[in-house]
């Protein structure tokens, strides 16, 4: 995993480098972030035990820029993970994070490469990553406002051309069988581009670019996690419904199908954390609240950003059934200050949502354990009673005597 790299003035875009085959998870830490769910508007009895509202730190002005960052890429199979390493770059007035999730089902075709056999999903996420980083570094500049719709169209054209060129290079034989579920080099994308609104100010323009079901989030101390991108899935529901339904992705980058790069712009006031994450980070948790809690509980218990990154990776790795990649950038505060700012939200999250849900899940597991014991007892007793009943029941079912033919 690469550390957060600086964003420089725009420069000519070079030819795309060869995809990086390495996808082992390596925590990268410096001092960055953003994300969060719906605002809380009621005060129940549990809130009486919450920590007091934090006051702005006297030694850190609200006008701070990117101050902490980390990213990781966890492959379920070493060297074969279909998520690419995330993009993680920042400057005093700019920030850029992105993740890419190669779609293993639709892109399961295996191609021969100089690095050995690689799936189309593996290759696609890395090609898209390199092109998006090149184009966004060229487009992002502190001296003018990013044209979001034009940038989205640029990314769509550039990634499509790069994927088509890579497909030609692979010299893949044409298949006689073609399923509309199969795609050539398919990948999702979620990109967050940040521009400070005025020099040394605390207001930031946040541009979102995405295709597929990877997500961008902002975490703000007063409201917690808020999802910034909309999942491109066939059966669209809210975030909780999407966890249960596991719907098919309806729009993703690929070499042989049309796709759309969506754009959305939101205005944010520092301090905040921004996150880009593939579905391996959030798709195997019981609820969206549990994703926020996973991140904030790790922050609460971590003395520094490197420890926070390692804790998030361990927590995600313990539950996910997929590759998982994440990039985090923190604006307007350092690690210790973010811990203070989110202390109250973390406590509220546990008391109001996580503990009630986890207690119900524990009760359900206990009832299911007792029910399975009861089923086992019934099976054993039924077998024993049937053995006692069976001789009389089958008294007249002795094998019939057959007479041999003369």
Spell out the per-residue pLDDT of the chain, length 406, in tens: 434 666 643 333 333 344 443 333 333 333 333 333 333 333 333 333 555 555 444 333 345 678 899 999 999 988 889 999 999 999 889 999 999 999 977 667 899 999 899 999 999 999 999 999 999 999 999 888 999 999 999 999 999 999 999 999 998 765 544 555 578 999 999 999 999 999 889 999 999 999 999 999 999 999 999 999 999 998 877 788 777 777 789 999 999 999 999 999 999 999 999 999 999 999 999 999 999 999 999 999 999 999 999 999 999 999 999 999 999 999 999 999 999 999 999 999 999 999 988 888 888 899 999 999 999 999 999 999 999 999 999 999 977 666 666 6
Q: Are 169 and 150 in contact (CB under 8 A)?
A: no
In the prediction, which pLDDT does 215 show?
Answer: 98
Q: Are 128 and 100 in contact (CB under 8 A)?
A: yes
Q: H helices within 175-304, ranges in order? A: 239-245, 279-282, 288-300
The per-residue pLDDT for range 59-71, each reduced to its tens digit, is 333 456 788 999 9
Q: Which fold has domain 5-359?
A: Phosphatase 2c; domain 1 (3.60.40)
Q: Are 381 and 374 in contact (CB under 8 A)?
A: no
What distance in Å separates the CA atoms of residue 318 and residue 5, rounded to the nearest whole number?
29
User: Would you kindly state where each structural domain of the chain is located, as residue ranges?
Assistant: 5-359
Computed on alpha carbons and rounded to an integer, the radius of gyration of the chain in Å comes to 27
Q: Are 190 and 98 in contact (CB under 8 A)?
A: yes
- CB-count burial class (<10 Å; 0-12, 13-18, 19+) for 340: middle
In the prediction, which pLDDT does 185 show?
Answer: 94
Spell out the residues 6+ positions from residue 228 whose beta carbon is closer than 8 angstroms to its own: 35, 192, 206, 208, 215, 216, 217, 218, 264, 266
Q: Are 69 and 2 in contact (CB under 8 A)?
A: no
Determine how β-strand 5-6 pairs with β-strand 87-90: parallel
């Amino acid at each position: 995993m690469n550390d957060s790299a600086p964003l420089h003035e725009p420069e000519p875009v070079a030819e795309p480098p060869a995809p990086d085959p390495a996808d082992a998870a390596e925590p990268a830490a410096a001092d960055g972030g953003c994300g969060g769910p719906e605002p809380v508007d009621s005060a129940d009895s549990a809130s009486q035990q919450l920590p007091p509202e934090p006051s702005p730190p006297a030694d850190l002005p609200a006008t701070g820029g990117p101050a902490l960052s980390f990213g990781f890429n966890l492959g379920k199979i070493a060297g074969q993970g279909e998520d690419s390493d995330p993009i993680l770059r920042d400057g005093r007035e700019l920030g850029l994070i992105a993740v890419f999730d190669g779609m293993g089902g639709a892109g399961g075709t295996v191609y021969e490469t100089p690095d050995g056999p690689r799936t189309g999903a593996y290759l696609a996420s890395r090609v898209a990553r390199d092109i998006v980083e090149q184009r966004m570094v060229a487009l992002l500049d502190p001296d003018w406002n990013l044209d979001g719709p034009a940038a989205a169209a640029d990314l769509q054209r550039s990634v499509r051309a790069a994927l088509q060129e890579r497909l030609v290079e692979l010299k893949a034989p044409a298949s006689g069988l073609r399923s509309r579920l199969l795609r050539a080099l398919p990948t999702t994308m979620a990109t967050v581009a940040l521009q400070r609104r005025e020099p040394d100010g605390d207001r930031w323009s946040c541009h979102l670019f995405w295709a597929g079901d990877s997500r961008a989030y902002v975490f703000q101390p007063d409201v917690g996690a808020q999802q910034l991108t909309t999942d491109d899935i066939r059966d669209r529901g809210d975030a909780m419904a999407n966890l249960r339904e596991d719907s098919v992705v309806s729009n993703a980058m690929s070499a042989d199908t049309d796709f759309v790069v969506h754009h959305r712009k939101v205005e944010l006031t520092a301090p905040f954390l921004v996150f880009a994450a593939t579905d391996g980070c959030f798709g195997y948790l019981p609820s969206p609240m549990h994703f926020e809690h996973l991140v904030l509980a790790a922050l609460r218990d971590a003395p520094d950003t490197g420890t926070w990154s390692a804790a998030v990776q361990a927590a995600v790795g313990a539950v996910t059934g997929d590759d998982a990649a994440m990039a985090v950038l923190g604006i307007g505060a350092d690690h210790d200050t973010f811990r203070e700012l989110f202390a109250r939200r973390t406590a509220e999250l546990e008391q109001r949502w996580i503990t009630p849900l986890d207690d119900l899940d524990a009760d359900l597991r206990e009832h299911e354990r007792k029910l399975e014991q009861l089923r086992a007892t019934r099976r054993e007793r039924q077998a024993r009673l049937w053995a006692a009943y069976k001789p009389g029941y089958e008294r007249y079912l002795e094998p019939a005597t057959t007479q041999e033919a003369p």
